[in-house]
Amino acid sequence: MKTLFIGGIKSGKSLNAEKYIQKLSKSKPLYLATTEFIDEGMQERIDAHKAQRQDRFITVEEALELSKEIQKHEQSPILVECLSIWVNNMLYHQKGVDDMIAEINSVMMQDREIVFVINDVSCGVIPDNKLARDFVDVNGKIAQLVASECDAVYHVVAGIATQIK
């Protein structure tokens, strides 16, 4: 089974996804962290996520090759946090949409219980620069692809997750 949690930044999607996956797992689930680019602000966010999940997960970090990393581990279920950061990483490393779609398809083909988290960045204005527009467009395409392949999709607003699929 594959599940997606989608919502705005600081909507509570990560906490909801963590609680959801813990109900599915008899042991510590795998937390696949995608953050690669760290500045002081990102470090604060990372620290907050680490404090939130405490020692309830086995955490591994992988910025680009999600499918290969998932295959390395026998733990199931797996929480992929966060696909939007992964999209950012892929764009930074000059990977195209086709590369991203191929990677997501490879992940989706795995017979594993996987929970995904992604930001919904589609409700704002059209960005004024190409890189930001590219990010919004690609993030939206990846969100649509993952949602279409997931068994369940939850939209999170103000900490409340509502199942939409």
Averaged over 47-66, what is the pLDDT? 82
User: What is the model's pLDDT at position 38?
Assistant: 67
% pLDDT > 70, the chain: 95
Instruction: Please give the Cα distance from 118 to 5 (Å, whole number).
Output: 6
pLDDT digits (tens, 9 = 90+) for 149-165: 999 999 999 999 999 99
Q: What is the pTM of this model?
A: 0.91
Return the SS3 of 130.
Answer: helix
Torsion of CA 75, 81, 82, 88, to 10 degrees: -70
Phi, psi for 21 (deg, rounded to 5): -70, -30
Instruction: Collect all residues with Cβ–Cβ distance below 8 Å to 18 and sequence separation of at least 6.
Output: 52, 53, 56, 57, 79
Identity of the residue numbered 78: I
Instruction: Please check the confidence at residue 37 and state whether its pLDDT lies above 80.
Output: no
- Residue 77, preceding bond cis, omega within 30 degrees? yes
pLDDT band at 53 (very low <50, low <70, confident <90, very high): low
- Per DSSP, helices labelled H in the chain are 13-24, 40-53, 66-72, 83-92, 97-109, 130-149
Averaged over 116-132, what is the pLDDT? 89
pLDDT digits (tens, 9 = 90+) for 20-33: 999 998 888 999 99
